[in-house]
Chain A
Amino acid sequence: EVQVLESGGGLVQPGESLTLSCAVSGFPFINFAITWFRQPPGKGLEWVSTVSATGTKTYHADSVQGRFTVSKDTSKNTVYLQMETLRVEDTAVYYCARDDGLSYFDYWGPGTLVTVSS
C-alpha cells in the first residue's frame, strides 16, 4: 500500500526557517519524482517545488526560489523541503505528492500546516 506522510509544520515568526519532511512507502522511491504543493487557508492550490526521481534535479516556483530547497534522501525514503526567510504569505497547508510519471499526482499526503505570524 502506498503511503505518503508530511511532518514538520508549525508556527514560526517571519524571517525564521522550518524544514518539512515527506516520508513515503509502498513503491520504489527512486523511480518517482516528488512534488510539494501548498494551499493557503480557504484558497486554491499552488505548485512549490519538485525533486526528480533520482534526486539530482530540483525545481522551484518563482515565489520561493532562493528561499526554499527540496531534497531527496533515498536511504530514508524521505523528501525534505527546507524553508528559509519565511513570510506571512507562506502560510498554508503543505502537501507532498507522488508524480505518476506524467506529471499528474496520484498519491498525496494529508498535509502539514505552516503558519507564519508574529
Chain B
Amino acid sequence: EIVLTQSPATLSLSPGERATLSCRASEYLTNYLAWYQQKPGQAPRLLIYDAFKRATGTPPRFSGSGSGTDFTLTISNLEPEDFAVYYCQQRANWPRLTFGGGTKVEIK
C-alpha cells in the first residue's frame, strides 16, 4: 500500500495569507496525485489532478506542484471559503487508491 503523509496536520492562517500544504508518498507516483477540499458535512471536491492540473471550476489561486514522492498544494491569498480540510490522493497503485490523512486549514 502506498502511504501518503500530509503535513502539517493543521495550518492556522488569516484571510489573504498564503497556504502551503505538503503530501509525501512512500513510493514513486510519477505525477499521479490529486488534491481534494472537504468542508464539514460535505463530500470532497476535486481541486487538482495529475499533480498540477486544475479541475473544472477550481480558482486560479489554487496551484499544485511536485512529482515523484513530494507534492505541494499552494493556496495564494486565502479566501474565507478556503478554510477546510485538504486531502491528497494517489492513483499510481490503482485500484488500491489511498489518501493522505488531511491538512486542516483553519482561521487564525
Chain A residues in the interface with B (C-beta under 8 A): 35, 44-47, 50, 59, 61, 95, 97, 100, 102-106, 108-111
Contact = CB atoms under 8 A, between A and B. Distances in A.
Contact of A46 (B42, B46, B99): B99
Given A46-B99, A109-B43, A111-B43, 8 more contacts: A95-B43, A102-B91, A103-B91, A103-B94, A103-B95, A104-B50, A105-B36, A105-B89
Contacts of B45: 108
Nearest to B85: A44
Contacts of A45: 44, 87, 89, 99
10 contacts: A44-B99, A45-B44, A47-B97, A61-B96, A95-B43, A95-B44, A97-B43, A102-B50, A102-B91, A104-B34
A100 B48 CA distance: 13
Contacts of B89: 45, 104-105
Nearest to B57: A106
A26 to B, nearest CB: 14
Contact of A108 (B43, B49, B98, B102): B43
B68 interface: no
A47 B100 contact: no
A110 B40 CA distance: 11
Nearest to B4: A44
Contacts of A102: 49-50, 91
B55 A106 contact: yes
A10 B95 CA distance: 27
B99 A104 contact: no
A12 B28 CA distance: 40
Nearest to B44: A108
Contacts of A106: 46, 55-56
Interface in B18-75: 32, 34, 36, 42-46, 49-50, 55-56
A2 to B, nearest CB: 11
B44 A104 contact: no
B15 interface: no
B3 to A, nearest CB: 12
Contacts of B96: 47, 61
